[in-house]
Amino acid sequence: MTAKRAAPVTERGRQSRQRIAEAAERIFGEKGYFRTSISDITREAGTALGTFYVYFDSKHDVFVEVLQGFARLIRQTTRAALGTGHDRIEEEERGFAAFFALIDSHPYLYRIVRQAEFVDPEAFRSYYAGIVRGYEARLRAAMVSGEVRALHPEALVYCLLGIGDLIGMRWAYWTGKPIPPDVFDSMMQFIRFGMDRRGTGSTNGEKEIPT
């Protein structure tokens, strides 16, 4: 990962940088990282080549910015959707619904995240780590309060991320349509059964939450 430049201090600068990042998202999604040139990005953004280098050092630099932007957007969107859910399971349902809606508005998210494993493995791992940290903390708190089963918090986060990732890919990403209600309901029933503190074989009073 490359060193990050200081954020623009003017609104015009912020808009220019954002315009370049949004253009890069579209071009990386359409052509792929290795077939994309900086000229492709600036042409899509409607900016001069020199303007690109005011904000980014390289094509790799803007790719990492797009990837990190996705991670921030996922965190912000899912947290905002939690609202005042009655329990952790309801919050999971709201979070998944928000994530699937996000796929509709960012159709290149899957393509870019998958490219990251080959473009910059460290940035790829960081993308998931940024999502996992807050998610794990919230699940751990729900386990402590007895809302959900006492399981390994980090393992549970990755299980849930895997469910959301593949369900989103199979329906929202591959079809370009919203998740069918019966698919979403089946997914949530599976999650609810697995996380329910009354589930067979585990109670919060009998199992210590891993550190």
Is residue 4 one of the residues assigned to a domain?
Answer: no
Least confident of 94-98, 99-103, 136-140, 195-199: 195-199
Using pLDDT thresholds of 50, 70 and 90, give the confidence band for residue 201: very low
Q: What is the pLDDT of residues 161-196, one digit of tens each?
A: 999 999 999 999 999 999 999 999 999 999 999 998
Using pLDDT thresholds of 50, 70 and 90, give the confidence band for residue 206: very low
> SS3 of 196, please?
strand
- Residue with more model confidence, 104 or 41: 41
> What DSSP letter does each residue of 29-52 carry, written as one string?
HHH-TTT--HHHHHHHHT--HHHH
pLDDT at 60 over 70: yes
Total domain count for the chain?
1
Give the residue numbers spanning the domain of 185: 58-195
Is residue 42 one of the residues assigned to a domain?
Answer: no
- Residue with more model confidence, 5 or 139: 139
**Sequence-separated contacts (24+) of 33-36 with Cβ below 8 Å:** 33/59, 33/63, 33/115, 33/119
Q: What is the pLDDT of residues 65-81, one digit of tens each?
A: 999 999 999 999 999 99
For position 211, what pLDDT does the model report? 65
Span 190-205, average pLDDT: 69
* Residue-averaged pLDDT of the chain: 90
Is residue 188 one of the residues assigned to a domain?
Answer: yes
Tokens of 182: 């019966």
For position 196, what pLDDT does the model report? 84
For position 83, what pLDDT does the model report? 74
Percent of the chain at pLDDT > 90 equals 81
Is residue 35 one of the residues assigned to a domain?
Answer: no
Is residue 130 one of the residues assigned to a domain?
Answer: yes
Using pLDDT thresholds of 50, 70 and 90, give the confidence band for residue 208: low
Is residue 165 one of the residues assigned to a domain?
Answer: yes
Q: What is the pLDDT of residues 130-151, one digit of tens each?
A: 999 999 999 999 999 999 999 9
Is residue 45 one of the residues assigned to a domain?
Answer: no
Give the pTM. Answer: 0.86
Is residue 178 one of the residues assigned to a domain?
Answer: yes
Contact 195, 88 (CB under 8 A): yes
Tokens of 196: 């329910």
CATH of the domain at 119: 1.10.357.10
